[in-house]
Amino acid sequence: MKRLLTTLILPTFLLAQSYPEVISDLDHSLALQSARQLETAAWESYRAAEGKNLPSLDANLNALKFQETPTVTFRLPPAMTPMTAPMGTKNHAEGSLTLTYPLFSGFAISASIEKAKLAHEKASLQVADLKRNLYLSTTMLYSSVIAFDQIIAAQEEAKKAITESHTKAKGLYDNGLLAPAELYAIEAKKFEIEAQITESQNKKQQTLNQLSYLTNTAVTSAGIVVHVLPIPEKNEMVRIALSNREDLRALSKAMDMAQTDVTVAQSRYYPNLTLVGALKRQGDSLELNGDGYSNADKSYAGVAASWNLFNGLSDMHTTEAAQAAKLSVQMTVEDYKHRIETEIDNAYLDINALQSQLQSAKMQVKASGEYAKLTHGRFDNQLSSADELSRSIADLASAKAKQASLESELFNQSAALWLKGGLNAFQEKVIPITANH
């Protein structure tokens, strides 16, 4: 069965940038754009690797001028003098169009193509995982902005209350009914609250600056966020994560790439067969119509075979090294699965703790509010001190700020839990909910 994490609706601001809008702006992130260029490079490398499995066609043209005319010497029986005769011309030109096609390479070519394909798929998953991590950072910052807005609202409310109290205290002081120390205590608390407001506003702006940096877009305010996210049972979330997490899938691609390295290493045990054919002509000019001594057409076709029989056991050790590397990646994948399970388990513990803390904070706000009302009344009737009044106002603001922080963190943790399940799970569950509110 599904549980619901339910907290309050945070206030909305005119022309504020919504959570889905800020998430969408991450497409402008320079880090993400850089990763996409690496993905494109991996794709082009894959296409280049595919070319190795196709015929190669080369054109060649040579034009030479010998220093001497090529000759040949005939050595007849010893009684006769050796005879020398020309066998070519000083000018010699050759032109060819050669076709080479690998018939069999011990699976090395197909394995290298498969590795390039896996590298591109891994790069795509790494882009998605980078986006997932950017979503995590952005969610934390965005919810912090919302919390600061709540905190500043509580502090402004406290400032208004302390200002009203200061006005009453000043009247009592002017009529000799309040000691100077009492009035100064209220004034000091007023300045303290103003300083807190300034600090909160600065922290909010710093957070907005970080959001602007991540999205490479100006983020000036945060809009409404509803803290109601459906959370499945823990085992279901683990299943989702192990099936969809981009970083885990990228590691699995690395394991497949390690297998292609094993195949490439083992290909050295097989012979290589290559089909070769050429259209070739020669002559004493660029017309390539012969030189009067040998035929102009030198075209040919054939098959070339090579097989390394022994190279000092290098192939055996290379294969063993590739197999060990594959086993290492396989163990890394299994370790990473356990790490994901631990992350999700801890996330549920954090969410449960935050729910309890938030319930306590709400009760504290209620209690602080009632105490502040009581203290106001008692102060108006000179039954409590200015210091007690100031502390009650500050305590109420502090309780409201704590509640806002916990609400922000609860949304952050619940959204982060879906991101631990993978980018697709987050986009399917979280984005529609926040977009509809």
pLDDT digits (tens, 9 = 90+) for 113-156: 999 999 999 999 999 999 999 999 999 999 999 889 989 988 99
- Taking residues 276-298, report their average pLDDT: 90
Lowest mean pLDDT, pick from 32-41, 65-74, 238-247, 336-345: 65-74
- What are the φ and ψ backbone dihedral angles of 377, each rounded to 5 degrees? -65, -40
Q: H or E segment at 424?
A: helix 423-435
The pTM assigned to this predicted structure is 0.81
d(CA 6, CA 182) in angstroms, rounded, equals 43
Q: Which two tokens stand for residue 117?
A: 């394909």
By the 8 A CB rule, do 291 and 88 touch? yes
Looking at the predicted structure, is the pLDDT value of residue 9 above 70?
Answer: no
- Residue 266's alpha-carbon distances to 93, 102, 111, 310, 342, in angstroms, are 43, 18, 10, 14, 38
d(CA 139, CA 413) in angstroms, rounded, equals 9
**Could you tell me the domains of the chain?**
3-54+106-269+312-435 (1.20.1600.10)
Output the pLDDT for position 78: 65
Helix runs in 227-295, H state only: 234-244, 246-266
36, with CB counted inside 10 A (0-12, 13-18, 19+), is middle
Taking the CA atoms of residue 49, residue 55, residue 58 and residue 59 in that order, the dihedral angle to the nearest 10 degrees is -140
By the 8 A CB rule, do 354 and 406 touch? yes
